Amino acid sequence: MMMNGTVIAVASLYFLQALLIGVQNFFGPRALLFGVPIPAADTQDPAVRRIRVQYTILMGIFVLIVAAACFAWIRYLDAAHALVYLLAALLAQFPLSGLAIAICRQSALRLKATRGWQVPVENRRAASISNRRHRSPVLGLPWFGAHLAVIAVCIIIAMVKWNDIPVQFAIQWNADRIPDWYRWYSTKSIGSVFYENFGQLIGTGIFMLLNLVIGRTRTSLDPKDPEGSLQKQIRYKRINSFAIWGISLVVTVFLGLFQAGRIYSFQLDLWIHLTLALLLTAYLLLLGMVVYLRARGLDQQRDIPSQDNRYWKISGITYCNPDDPAIFVPKPYGMGWTVNMAKPMGRLAIAAIVGVPILLLVWVWLLIM
């Protein structure tokens, strides 16, 4: 198999994503060990640290096994089919992470039983009526005008250069700059020429929705410092919103460059050279965000209504509380949010999160068959 730029980029993305997933448990609430509450005095206990390291080691083993199996298989495939298997391996990291979490949670529960930890669930809640001086916790929709501007430029250039676009063009090029494969969608048409633009619009819409979700997540305040914890959560949400905006802009530019290399008879040199740089930018942005949040103590967000361990099912991976009106709640490990599976909208959200990548993978597979 000739390793083209796309395959190399996705393989690099695989290991970058594995790195971020592997270190996530070192961020987030210190008083929770894979959802198991631990006393504040024991957060730096060596046994607690070993369990956190255990997760990273398990993920490393899983990632290397999948990578070895994947690369052993794609050696006999062309770049197009190899790309599908690499994308499948990329998505497989998430269920593997769930398996590692389940194993480490059992270790945490055994440690809790051995040490006899008794951490009372705090039932006091606090509310703060924010006034107009508080900034919005997320970026407004006008910020995504940058994405629409990039998409508009890509569309206008394609329209202006329509007559210069060849009737037949390759979708993939190998390392020797020879077209790998042609299919029906390589014939010039509105669908094939503006293919990436549709992806840009759909991706921008998804990221806008994620940004909106962050703004609508519950703000659970610390009864001891309601106003201070409110400001911290506003900053926490805003930083996450900035990260989503930046990553989505990188993705939009990424697709625009791929469109340019595909339909303007470039040899994809620009695409090959910049793909990894763009992916590195996105992942370094994520890594920088989590490090900054940890350094500022903004990752230590507490959510009193969802801290009760009995509502975390399937080894602490899913949250299911019919009495909690919130659809999105903070994760019990790492950073970010998860859904309340007891709510219909929560089940719909998780179906979309899981279903969209699977449908995309099936669609790509059908295209190359």
Residues 318-341: tens digit of each pLDDT: 888 888 887 888 777 767 778 888
pLDDT of 267 reads: 52
* Within-domain flag for 254: yes
* Within-domain flag for 171: yes
Main-chain dihedrals φ then ψ at residue 169, nearest 5 degrees: -145, 150
User: For the segment 211-222, what is each residue's pLDDT rounded down to a tens digit?
Assistant: 888 887 877 776
pLDDT of 156 reads: 93
* Within-domain flag for 31: no
* Within-domain flag for 211: yes
Domain that holds residue 185: 138-302
Start-end of H helices in the chain: 5-23, 46-74, 79-115, 145-160, 190-193, 195-216, 226-263, 269-295, 344-368
pLDDT of 155 reads: 93
pLDDT of 14 reads: 83
Number of separate domains in the chain: 1
- State pTM to two decimals: 0.71
CB 193 within 8 A of CB 263: yes
* Within-domain flag for 262: yes
